[in-house]
Structure 1
């Protein structure tokens, strides 16, 4: 490695890019081994971002990467960008409990329709098979770490609160019944919480109604009870169950706060909502890391680049510009060097409306060398001279997939490594894209 900055991006790429193929297991595994060695043993949470939702090869890359991390590098769990409370259904299936078929969890266990993606089914089935082998002492877990919200709607807090109430009732039936009576009287109809109109019209939201405000107070009281009784409850239920109940309670609090924010109409309303979502995602991942640490394991997280990047997120929607701190920025503050993240990039994807990258863009430079996939360390931009990136143009986006964000010069500081694919198709099982 040079002890001075590379003067050109081409020098950096030629010297440090590790070419590989998704179809060559030995070469792929060796590249992953080199990357994990370079990241060091302190990493407890490794993120892989995807440049777009709906890239088939990006999902295959994720599956292959997790398989290697699990079998050779001590990773015991994968966390994906899907609803936190739904994730326990898929984890039960992976553990050999509950439903007997993937079909029973593909919708109930995932948000955003992600359960219908073939690559997700393949991941889950591989994990279930892995766990069924008695030779594997540490069983793999799968989590959802997203908030129970969609771009077009948000869940009722009922599912989260019922989980906590069921837990409390299991260790103290009288206290559980008392809280349940008060909370269920305030929940109302789920359809009122989940009305899609609330996303764009604050007046449609029930988040600041008298009942919702009272429910927030009851939720705080419930959390205070669990917190004050921690020594007793940990003995009665075990630390893992107690900690899980506390995380569900925290998620319920965050969701109620989100609904309250939906009902307000300040100028920064959308940015605030996006920031609240990402902050909650980071809190969920921190809980998962702590839980896996107790088992001697590590966590691999997979989501869109925009959630896992370290730097501030900027998103232009029409004429509006939204800015917020993504989950990766929170994780960097929480974990420091114990958090590392690999960002993804793609050259061409006809199915996703992504043409050939324009000359001089980062994608064009990165896909010019050996491939069809390559891993390359960014060194957080420290080994690239300022002149090398100062005038770097950004490529055009997608004509079909609004969830595609190109790389920018900031990507070199937002990510520790980049995974660059020459091309990708559209994810098998994904909903049709607009033409």
Structure 2
């Protein structure tokens, strides 16, 4: 990763903050976490000593222990130390590896700490508070004895019941199915509050018989349990779905804000903190979202923290022009994003590896170049991109704009060259002259031998109307590589035989990029596919193509 020019960043934001928040407009574009990494490496040289990301705070404790030199492996900590699937991102792997290497041999006060500041919540589920309460209870019991504190002998299991009933998806959608408003849940809130109070009241004794780190871990578990109990209580409130969903979103951001403020309390003597999350969580103005016919409004974590920290909170909003990963086309003229595209002057340039050509635009320049512009309207819900709007432009300290986010993997031509390098491979390019239907013009079909009996791989760039549209190849820059893996390899890769594809089809996102998927039309015949192969899939795809080629050679020779 190439370090970001922190001097220009400092000039643009004009102050040294406690929290420097860098927002991404989507979780699906790799350029933003890559830029975060580059920016962090530069800011560490300028005194920053911690990074906090939109991931479960409790899980992140394991990541921090690892980057501080603790036991374990990188793969293990990526699997357990992140929520929302963030451990699968290459940029997060790079971040954790860099932090551990940077911290090696440094005194504790000079190391860079890793924090998560999210609650352990997903969009449609919330876990049981049980594991978090049990951790706190066990910590207190081991040091104070079961008779040494209130609720030392309380049967938490009797109050909690089966942990699975808390995480029931229906519980967040239907208040009558939530357990958060029952007598046992109310009793648990009182117990949790008493346990956290005991933790603080007995802190001198507890820290003396354990460690500051163990006490802090117990405190984070306790505050997480209380937050989950509050969340479940709102889920059980018999109000309208719109009110309940807005309040649930608000509680999540309130928990985020409290976590950020708590993190700053611990880091205040060591240096500022870089915060990375979605713009919707970091912006200063209220968040709004049109979802399933509901108009949702709530205060973001950024709005809460900015109110309490004032000028010590600085916010850089991320924005995006076009993206191959999202299938997002270039913005129309007249939009905010178009104003920040090619030709923009008076902007500091940030670089990352690979370089997305990002520009950082300060608030004064931003106001001038976006005057009279409008919000872009060419974005679909599936793309997951939240465009710049007037409130974000007016409320941020700068915008970091990526005009064009390049694909992260080989393009179709490069892949075709790699396939053609396999012995005996023949290419058929579908064209008007070849008599192919117009919907397949430009598609590539790879065979072993000149007789072209059955392709072992294809590269296609268009949907076939009425037949093969599930991959949504109409998105700009999106293409698909199809490979005849065979039934055994299909099952090894996907965990079920091709014959079960139809019953599993509703759960498959055939439009997802950079993952191995069943072919939407020929999966039952053992075909798999990858849309826009990138860091997550290209190595496996290369192996699949070689195997499919070998099988084709055997078929032809037999």
Under a length normalisation based on structure 2, what TM-score does the superposition of the two structures give? 0.67
Which of 170, 185, 194 matches 1:221? 194
Correspondence for 1:286: 261
Rg comparison, structure with higher value: 2
Does structure 2 retain, via aligned residues, the 8 Å contact 1:166–1:176? no
Does structure 1 retain, via aligned residues, the 8 Å contact 2:48–2:273? yes
After superposition, the C-alpha distances for 1:77-123 in whole angstroms (9 at most, x for unaligned) are 11111111111111122122131x22212222111111011111111
Does structure 2 retain, via aligned residues, the 8 Å contact 1:400–1:434? no
Q: Does 2:47 match 1:47? A: no
**Aligned residue runs from structure 1 range 186-201, under 5 A:** 186-201=159-174
Structure 1 spans left out of the alignment, 5+ residues: 1-22
Change (3 A) 1:379 1:311: farther
Correspondence for 2:252: 277
Does structure 1 retain, via aligned residues, the 8 Å contact 2:145–2:152? no
Correspondence for 1:138: 110
How far did 1:351 drift?
2.7
Q: What is the count of residue pairs matched by the alignment?
A: 400
Correspondence for 1:363: 337
Separation in 1 of the partners of 2:160 and 2:408? 38
Does structure 2 retain, via aligned residues, the 8 Å contact 1:85–1:159? no
After superposition, the C-alpha distances for 1:376-431 in whole angstroms (9 at most, x for unaligned) are 111598x659xx63x42111253364531000111122211110111225779xx9
**Aligned residue runs from structure 1 range 88-237, under 5 A:** 88-99=61-72, 101-134=73-106, 138-174=110-146, 175=148, 178-179=151-152, 181-230=154-203, 232-233=205-206, 237=210
Deviates more, 1:245-254 or 1:121-130: 245-254
Separation in 2 of the partners of 1:196 and 1:43? 40
Separation in 2 of the partners of 1:327 and 1:426? 32
Correspondence for 2:402: 421
Which of 361, 380, 383 matches 1:376? 361
Change (3 A) 1:237 1:426: farther
Separation in 1 of the partners of 2:63 and 2:13? 30
Does structure 1 retain, via aligned residues, the 8 Å contact 2:25–2:278? yes
More helix by share: 1
Does the residue aligned with 2:49 lie in a helix, a strand or coil?
A: strand
How far did 1:279 drift?
0.5
How far did 1:291 drift?
0.8
Does the residue aligned with 1:410 lie in a helix, a strand or coil?
A: helix
Under a length normalisation based on structure 1, what TM-score does the superposition of the two structures give? 0.84
Correspondence for 2:386: 405
Q: Kindly indicate whether structure 1 or structure 2 has the higher relative contact order, using CA contacts under 8 Å at least 6 residues apart.
A: 1
Structure 2 spans left out of the alignment, 5+ residues: 350-356, 410-508, 514-558
After superposition, the C-alpha distances for 1:243-296 in whole angstroms (9 at most, x for unaligned) are 5533432221111010111112312100000000000001001111111114x2
Separation in 1 of the partners of 2:267 and 2:46? 14
Separation in 2 of the partners of 1:176 and 1:354? 57
Change (3 A) 1:167 1:384: farther
Does structure 1 retain, via aligned residues, the 8 Å contact 2:132–2:221? yes
Separation in 2 of the partners of 1:374 and 1:51? 15
